[in-house]
Structures are given as C-alpha cells and as structure tokens.
A and B are shown apart, each in its own frame.
Chain A
Amino acid sequence: MELLTRTEKWDITYRHALGEVASWFYTQIRDHKKIYGKKDFKSNRVLVPPRAFSDETLEPTKDWVEVGPEGVIECFTIVYQAFKNLPDPPYAFGYVMLKGADTAIGGYFKGIDLTDGAKAAKQLAIGTPVITRFAEKRVGDALDFWFEVKE
C-alpha cells in the first residue's frame, strides 16, 4: 500500500540571558581583547570559561584572573561532514588550556590547511602551543576569538 508522510519544521527563537559573569567575560573580550577566568578559592582552580560557582566546591567564585593569550591544545577534531545549520566543512576546533587557567576553553583552530586530515591532525597534536587571535569586529560572543598554532 502507499505509505504517506507529513513534513514538519521547528523554527523557534530564544533570547538567552547570559548572566552577570558571562556578560563581564564577553565585554572584556569585546572591548579589550582580554580573556579572564574566575578563581575558586577553595580548590584554587581558575575556571575558564568563568563560572559563577565551582562545580567541585559549590562555592561562589571570586577574583577575576586574566589568562592567555598563549595556551596549549588539549584536544581537537577536524570536521569534514556537513550538518544542517552548522558551518560548512572542513573546520577544526577543540579545547585549549590558556596560560594561567586550570580548565580548557573551546574555540576554532584557524590557519591550518585541512585538506589532508592526518597531516592537519599532526599539526594540531595535543600539547601544541597556540596563540589566541581576536576578530577585528567583536560583538561579545564565543566567536570573537580563535586559536592559531604558535610559530
């Protein structure tokens, strides 16, 4: 028998409040090209991206600590498959431990030829030093910065 289908599409807009901590963090990136973490004094960890409270001690974090712009790659992947509503491949992204931080932050890796995956993977190996780069036009968003392998 003929089996019928019905096409449905979800298209919903949200306006998420970022809160005080993330708002300050992004403002520093936007206005001063600086990345900050927040310190949990009980565990002595500098959390990057900054959080209002520590997941380990449940205490509020206190002082802001400037981190980076240097760092090392902690993990990466290079995406070659297109997914709907996600960027056109190929692209590389992953996590970087910025200087002075105790947790890694996510971002794109740029300036690498991604044509040959295995070759690009070697250039992005864990432990590779990177530098943070900032977009010329910044809007206060996670895409205002990315990482490039340090020469």
Chain B
Amino acid sequence: MKIPKVGIIGIGQSHFKAKRQDANYPELVREAVKLAMEDAKIDFDEIEAIVYSLAPDALLGIGNAERLGVDAVSAKNKRFMRINTGGSTGISSLAAAHSHIAAGACDVVLVAGADKVGECGDSQTILNKIWDPTYERALPLGTINMLAMSAVRYMHKYGMTEEDMAQIVVKNRAHSALNPHAHLRELTSVDEVMKSRMISWPIKLFDACPQSSGGCSVILASEKYIKDRGLDAVWITGVGHSTESYYLGDRMGKHFTADHADAHALSEACYKSYKMAGVVDPLKEIDVAELYSPFSNTEFHAIEAAGLAKLGQSPKMLSEGYFKIGGPNPVNPSGGVLCTNAIAVTAMVRVAEVALQVWGRAGAHQVKGAKKGIASGNGGDHQFFGAMVVES
C-alpha cells in the first residue's frame, strides 16, 4: 500500500531556557503555536485537528494539563487528543497527526506542546515513579542511572571510554552555540567535561541534558492541500515506531532479544522509517540526523541504530569527525537533547530541526545541501522509540 505524502508547512519553537518566569504553561504552548501559525501563513479555521504533546504530568506539576492547553491551541469544536510516550511523546504526536492525514481523515493537523521541567528541578525523583512499584520502585532508579547502566554495558561490549563520551558533549556544544533556540550554548572541552562532577558513574554533569522550559509546534498538511494552495513544504516520507519490553533485567545475560548496551527497538523504528521512505543505504543517503540522546553515551547507540555506524564503531568515527557539521554524516547539528530537553516536546524538536535542515532554513547550524534527514525519539525506560524521515 502506498502511503500518501504528508507535508510540514509550519514550525514554531521557543528559545529554550531553564525557567520561563514570564510565561505560565498555556502561555508557553501558545507561544510555539503562534510561531508555527505565522510560519505556515494559514488561519486557525484551517486546522481540523490537534494532537497535543504532553509527557508525564508530574514533570509539569499539573494533572492532565492538556485540559489547560485546549485554549492555547484553539481546539474548541475540533478533534483533540493527547499523546504521552515519555521522552518520545513529541515524535509519537507527530506520528498520530501524520496518520490523521495519511488516512484521509484530515487535511491540516496542528501538533503542539510545551514543558516547564525547570520549575520542578527534580525530574529524577519524578522519573523514579515510572518504575514498577512491585519489584523495582524500592531501588533508586531514574533515567540517568538507567542510561548510566547502558553506558557501562556499551563500554564493556565495545570499549567506549569516558573521554569518548566527553567528545560527544564537545561536538554538541559546538553545534548548540550556533543554534539560538538551544538551552546550553557554551563551548566546552574534554577536560572540562571530565572535571565536571560525577552524577551516576560514568555520567558526569556535562554528559547529561539540562531541564528545559519551552514549547514546540509543527503543522502538517496533506499533499493535495499543499499543492492546491501553492504552499512551501517539506515532506515526511518515512514513519517508524517500535517498542522494547519493560524490564531492564531482561535486556542482559542470556537469551535476551535486545542488549541494554544498544538500542535494538530504536533500530527497528529507524529501519521501518527507511523502508517506507525507500532509503536503502542510510550512510550514503541521509544528509542530516537529529537523534534523541539525553546523555552523551546514548548518542553512540542512537547513531548505530540509525545505521550511520556499525555496532561499536561510532566512537571511532566521532573522533574522525564523521558526525560534526561539515562532516559526512552530521548528527544533532542543533546541539540535540544534550543541550535542550523540554521533555514533552523534545522529540518533536528533533523532527522540526530535521525539517528546517532539509528546508534550508536552519540558520547558522545549517548542514549545507541537506535534502534528506532522520529524526528519532526515545521514551519510557528506554522503551518507546519513534523515527521519521523528512525530505525536501
């Protein structure tokens, strides 16, 4: 079955910061929506449905905050649904909007959300609550130490060092310094990363993403709508999602289907999106990648899952300059999640950034000549994965 093309016609994102004292939650959502609507140059009457991107309630501190968000996206008398798959919420929301259009149910769908993680500043305490109270809640699990354990396994399996991890931070900070929307924008060095305080071995402060506040909105439309109105657009040509089972302990030892060192289900998601987009050799065909990586070490297994390096080879390729702007396969030219993480919209920003790249509108962090890119999102306990191919 040939899936109809779905276009991106408008993008809006905040200048992400730790805190936004000047705006409450719905005002922040509204900020992103206004920017996306201005970008698309269409009226609110044209929007037929809204997919609302909102991660775990406690990060924001408002139960079912989509209720508050309804007014910020002008959803009165329209289809409205909230999506939550944790960190991958933003890309899951875009996939739901894509399906609305691909199925022929709607011509124009608005995707929007915001987060104010910085208002809590205690995200690991909240994220400890995503673990099963029966067996694992008594342990001090959080997303940092969960992915520190992935780093330990990746180190054991492939020989990654703490310095390799630091090199990811140095690259991404060099990228984010060029991106006015990024939260952490200061250049850094391997030495500075190595000297930053240890959080959860081997992840140090500089290896970890910040807690960001800000919003993002993306407007999708059908090919017919775009062509009939002569609108400027880039195209979502591939969509893939895949899920990993719940227990971390099932991803190690004997007989496992996925190693916690790697990102097996993310790879499945990427290759599903490649198949739909007709991408055969990602290393040659993908010009730019925005891969969800909240910690330095996870960018390595994300790069490998996206087929931009063989398993265990990405640290060496990073040191050879493969993944920086100007290299053969730039990864996270925006600075990525490592520099900006407003959890509810982070995975949406990945797609938005790839779209801006293939549109040629990324500004100072533009990857020259980018025509085709991949974006990804990870959520849950390294569990819910989404990927999208976007092309000009």
Contact = CB atoms under 8 A, between A and B. Distances in A.
Contacts of B253: 74, 97, 101-104
B200 to A, nearest CB: 5
B287 to A, nearest CB: 35
A149 interface: no
A151 interface: no
Given A103-B249, A104-B252, A77 B200 contact: yes
Interface string A84-99: 1111000101110100
B149 interface: yes
Nearest to A16: B133
B142 interface: yes
Interface residues of A, number: 50
B61 interface: yes
What is the interface residue range for chain B against chain A? 35 or more
B124 A86 contact: yes
Interface in B247-295: 247-250, 252-257, 260
A13 interface: no
Contacts of A108: 139
Contacts of A14: 133
Given A75-B152, A106-B136, 15 more contacts: A3-B22, A22-B134, A45-B255, A49-B135, A74-B253, A75-B260, A77-B203, A78-B198, A78-B201, A79-B200, A81-B197, A86-B124, A104-B249, A106-B248, A106-B249
Interface of B: 21-22, 58, 61, 122, 124-125, 128, 133-142, 144-145, 148-150, 152-153, 156, 197-203, 245-250, 252-257, 260
21 contacts: A47-B250, A74-B253, A75-B252, A76-B152, A77-B152, A79-B200, A79-B201, A80-B200, A81-B198, A81-B200, A93-B145, A97-B254, A102-B253, A104-B250, A106-B248, A107-B139, A108-B139, A125-B156, A126-B153, A142-B137, A143-B138
